[in-house]
């Protein structure tokens, strides 16, 4: 018989990597990781492009949507690890999108992080307080987005630490 190699197959990538030479801990199974998926919903194309590039570079896999109706379709078809949603978007606004997901009892509901350029409006403040979802006011620092995603993942029981699960990765279940 020939030599035995261990391969790591990473979802959402087109490569298979030989990991037989990577350090293994005796008695513990090798973990396979996949990239965490995020949906970015905002009609400001330069902002959504910047967020996508930043998060992709941090190890996340992102999809971009600029319309609320299309976002609802995507959210009905797929599960995401996090969703960054502007409140004021065309088609279906972020508040309506949230209410639709809540009515449908979507598992994506608890993964929403809102962003808004209008945090002072009383109806938006009331909504954000009642939804109890994390939110950031525009303009925001990109590191704040990353930190908010990590806090959301920690709330869901996914640890992010160097030497363990790396940023942007989750264990394959």
Residue 71 lies in a domain: yes
Judge whether 12 lies within some domain: no
In a domain, 2, yes or no: no
Average pLDDT over residues 46-61: 96
For 7-29, what is the HEC assignment?
A: EEECCCCCCEEECCCCCCCCCCC
Highest mean pLDDT: which of 101-105, 119-123, 155-159?
101-105
Per-residue confidence (pLDDT) for residue 158, from 0 to 100: 57
Q: What is the residue range of 66's domain?
A: 34-171
Per-residue model confidence as pLDDT tens digits over 61-79: 999 999 999 999 999 999 9
* pLDDT number for residue 162: 30
Residue 153: the pLDDT is 87
In a domain, 109, yes or no: yes
Instruction: Measure CA 25 to chain center.
Output: 30
CA torsion sign, 59 to 75 to 77 to 70? negative
Angle, vertex CA 83, rays to CA 140 and CA 106, nearest 5: 145
Does residue 130 lie in a domain region? yes
What's 149's domain CATH number? 3.40.50.2300
* Residue 69 tokens, joined: 């109706």
pLDDT in tens, 12-35: 433 334 344 444 445 555 555 578
Domain count, the chain: 1
Residue 17 placed within a domain: no
Prediction pTM value: 0.73
Q: For residue 84, is pLDDT > 90?
A: yes
């Amino acid at each position: 018989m020939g030599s035995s190699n261990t391969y790591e197959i990473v979802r959402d990538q087109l490569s298979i990597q030989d990991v037989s030479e990577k350090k293994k801990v005796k008695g513990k199974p090798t973990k396979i990781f996949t990239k965490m998926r995020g949906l970015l919903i905002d009609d400001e194309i330069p902002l959504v492009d910047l967020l996508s590039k930043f998060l992709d570079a941090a190890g996340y896999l992102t999809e971009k949507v600029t319309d609320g109706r299309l976002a609802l379709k995507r959210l009905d078809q797929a599960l995401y690890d996090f969703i960054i949603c502007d409140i004021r978007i065309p088609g279906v606004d972020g508040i309506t999108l949230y209410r639709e997901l809540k009515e449908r009892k979507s598992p994506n509901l608890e993964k929403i992080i809102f962003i808004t350029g209008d945090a002072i409006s009383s109806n938006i403040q009331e909504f954000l307080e009642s939804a109890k979802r994390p939110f950031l006011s525009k303009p925001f620092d990109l590191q704040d987005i990353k930190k908010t995603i990590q806090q959301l993942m920690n709330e869901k029981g996914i640890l992010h630490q160097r030497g363990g699960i790396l940023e942007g990765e989750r264990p394959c279940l």
